[in-house]
Amino acid sequence: MLKGGIVVLIALLALNVLAIDVLPSILPDTFDIKNPNHYIDYTAQLISKGELDSAKEVLDLGATEAQKHNNKYLQANISYYLADYFYYKQEYDTAHTLYNSVLPLFEELCDTLMIAKSLNSIGLLYSFEQNDEKTIHYYLLENALLNQVKNKNRSYDVERIVLLTNLINLHSSAKEHDKVIEHAKEGIKLAKEINDPLRLGSILNALAIAYKNIGDIDQSLKTFKEASALFRISKDDFRNSFIQNNIGGLYEQNNKNLDSALHYYQASLKGFNDEEYTWGITQSKLGVASVLSKKKKFTVAEKHYNSVIDTSINHNFNKVLLLAYQGMAQLKYDSKSYKQAFEYNRLYDNLNDSLFNQEKHKQYAELQTKYEINIKENEINNLKTEKLQQELILEKSQLHKQIIISFFLFALVSIVVLVVYYIQKRRDNRILQVHARKIEHQNEQLKTMNHHIRLINNKLQKSRKELSISNTAKNKFFSILAHDLRNPFHNILGQSYLLSETFDKLSSDEKKQYAVDIYKSCDQVNRLLENLLEWSRSQSKGLNFNPQKLKINELVLNSISVLKYNALAKDIIIENNIQNNYEIVADKDMVETIFRNIVNNSIKFTTNGGTISLSAIPLKNKIKFIIQDTGVGICKKELEKIFNLDSNFKTRGTNGERGTGLGLVICKEFIKIHKGEIWAESELNDGSKFFIELPLT
């Protein structure tokens, strides 16, 4: 047993070594196995080339890496491309399940583009099932999602074109030509914007077919030629062959221009021959044969028809063979070979009847299968019902027996318990009376001890909380002193050293610039020290809380007056909409500090030429202040951090202004002392609102 275990262990180790050596060999030298995007991009590249086996190996490697590091971003994308792998392997059920499973993962990651792609893929799979209702449902979900995206890039535009192409195909199969034209025009505009000639050509082809179907032949021909020119410039001869075959069909229609029709059919035939695309070759040869027959060149036309007939029989192209028989019958009739014309008509009718019968037989077989399945399901359900009924009867009988037995056992046990209980109770009563007095005495002692323990616990919890706050304050102080004080002091030392060394060589403007730079650095250090001092005093209970009756408008004016030069420097307008008759009982210095910090914060994050407005709303027993700006805003994730000291949230202003990360924390502490509240509402690129509620007394 032990030897067997050792052999298995050695084998597993050997396999692991081989896996390490072999798996990375499929990857390029520039591949970084720790970079999630390398797995995603390389897998997408392999799938687009049709190298599915290699793509599967990379997906397995990426899945292992994602699980190892619990990387949700990589896990979600690996699952999506695994669904793509099964899609191209035509294992649609597995692909469907995977696409549905990744939707919540991308929603959790807020990855709008990948949510859109997943919705599109699910809709496409439903289109294969001819479930138009669910197909259009998922396409419309994706369309609504893409319309919500404000800052679009090329990736979103490409996904938009993919969606429009799928909608065009869906409406085309439903013969809704007006909707095809509507979506095609939108797709053409978008394809031109992102300079994608191949997608533009494909959409033009679909638009031309729609024009043909509604009878606008001239517009259809013009559009086909635009598509052909694009594919010719892109050197995509294969796609161009389809377009040329369609153009040939338009020219042949109603014998409009047989020479042009023959030219385009022959060009299409050459393209399909170069690609060795058999089905396309038969289509082009049919067109060539039809035109030659109309031009009375019966011998050459018959040669092409016979070639199509032979190829169609060999490849089981029954619908193509049907058209070839029909063409040959017309050719023989036009060349006055009536007997042969009759024979080809007979072949046409026999094949048409056969195809019709096959289709009917197929439909009948499907109906018969569904009917038989339904009968079997009913039989199974009936058997299950009978079985359940029998089981219920049996269970009911057994339950009755169990109830009767249980009742007798319960009665017997109850009698025994009552007798034992009576005897035991008499004995226990005597013991209890002896111990009762001792227990009462012990309870009194325990109550006294519990009271002391609760007092000690409360003191310990209070001490632990104060110690935690003290540690946080200490860490914050060290962090700020180590980082935020070092840079401005370095600037002051550097600028003052250069000024002292080169003073006689500098012009007046250069000396002034050095002085301005030194002043800015000193001002930054001063503001930092002020914030640190105010915050540390609030934490150490060193602040004097001196509430007094204050006029709010004067208080606000005093707070923002010191910031007017900061606002003027960025052409920012500060609107004070607070009425003169509002009064509040509060600590003057603290409230001024609150307004000064918040307005300064708004100036920092508002772009040049913006606006900051202050207003107040009286409420019951309190007043609400609103400070609103037209700045860059704050994303939801960062909005949760701005009032927390331990988050260490700092960012630069719109003109590179530096902050300490303490301003809003100090505001929260001072408002807490006043038994008020502060909160903020903001969206990225849509400004911010800060709300302050303070009691009137």
pLDDT of residue 119: 92
pLDDT at 159: 83
Per residue in 128-144, pLDDT (tens digit) is 787 888 898 998 898 88
Do the beta carbons of residue 659 and residue 651 sit within 8 Å? Answer: yes
Higher-pLDDT residue of 564 and 298 is: 298
CA distances from 152 to 198, 225, 380, 587, 637 (A): 21, 32, 55, 49, 21
Question: Which tokens in the block code for residue 311?
Answer: 């190829």
DSSP 303: H
pLDDT at 475: 66
CA distances from 79 to 27, 95, 98, 104, 125 (A): 19, 10, 7, 12, 17
pLDDT digits (tens, 9 = 90+) for 615-641: 999 998 899 999 999 998 888 888 878
- Stretch 634-661: mean pLDDT, rounded? 70
The DSSP line for 436-476 is HHHHHHHHHHHHHHHHHHHHHHHHHHHHHHHHHHHHHHHHH
Q: Once rounded to an integer, what is the mean pLDDT over residues 424-448?
A: 79
**For 2-17, what is each residue's pLDDT tens digit?**
334 333 333 333 333 3
DSSP-derived secondary structure for 208-244: HHHHHHTT-HHHHHHHHHHHHHHHHHTT-HHHHHHHH
pLDDT, mean over the chain:
81
Is the distance from CB of 221 to CB of 250 less than 8 angstroms? yes
* CA atoms of 593 and 559, how far apart (whole Å): 7
Q: Nearest-CA neighbor of 532 among 595, 483, 462, 464?
A: 483
- CB distance 597 to 659 below 8 Å: no
Considering only residues 494 and 180, tell me which one the structure prediction assigns the higher pLDDT: 180
pLDDT of residue 307: 92
DSSP designation for 505? G
Res. 370 pLDDT band, cuts 50 70 90 = very low
pLDDT above 50: residue 68: yes
DSSP class per residue in 159-203: HHHHHHHHHHHHHHHTT-HHHHHHHHHHHHHHHHHTT-HHHHHHH
Residue 433 amino acid letter = Q
Q: Taking the model in full, what pTM does it have?
A: 0.44
Q: How far apart are CA 451 and CA 462, in angstroms?
A: 17
State the average pLDDT over residues 338-342: 89
* Centroid of chain to Cα 578: 43
pLDDT at residue 108 greater than cutoff 60: yes
Residues in the chain: 697
pLDDT of res. 34: 83
- What would the two tokens of residue 107 be? 């929603």
What are the residues whose beta carbons fall under 8 Å from the beta carbon of 130, sequence distance 6 or more?
A: none
Q: What is the pLDDT of residues 318-332, one digit of tens each?
A: 888 999 999 999 998
**DSSP secondary structure of 6-62:** HHHHHHHHHHHHHHHHHGGGGS-TT--TT-HHHHHHHHHHHHHTT-HHHHHHHHHHH
The per-residue pLDDT for range 162-210, each reduced to its tens digit, is 888 888 888 888 888 888 888 888 888 888 888 888 888 888 888 888 8
Do 47 and 9 form a contact (C-beta atoms < 8 A)? no
Q: Is it the case that residue 644 has pLDDT exceeding 60?
A: yes
Q: What is the pLDDT at residue 15?
A: 35
pLDDT at 1: 38
Query: In this model, does residue 252 exceed pLDDT 60?
Result: yes
Confidence of residue 410 (pLDDT cuts 50, 70, 90): confident
As a dihedral over the C-alpha atoms of residue 59, residue 62, residue 68, residue 73, rounded to 10 degrees, the angle is: -110
559 compared with 213, residue with greater pLDDT: 213
Greater pLDDT, 697 or 95 = 95
Kindly provide the b/e burial profile for residues 616-650, where b requires at least 16 CB atoms within 10 angstroms of the residue's own CB.
Answer: beeeeebbebbbbbbbbbbeeeebebbbebeeebe
Task: Give the residue-averaged pLDDT of 553-573.
Answer: 83
Of the candidates 601, 583, 539, which has an alpha carbon nearest to the alpha carbon of residue 694?
A: 583
Q: Cβ(632)–Cβ(608) under 8 Å?
A: no
What CATH code would you report for 544-695? 3.30.565.10
* First vs last C-alpha separation in the chain: 83
Q: How confident is the model at residue 303 (pLDDT cuts 50, 70, 90)?
A: very high
How large a percentage of the chain has pLDDT more than 70? 83
CA dihedral 166, 167, 168, 174 (to 10 degrees): 110
Look up residue 71 and give its DSSP letter: -
What is the H or E stretch that residue 485 is in?
none
pLDDT of residue 376: 59
Would you state the structure tokens that stand for residue 361, as one six-digit string?
A: 């037989």
- Which amino acid is located at 691 in the chain? F
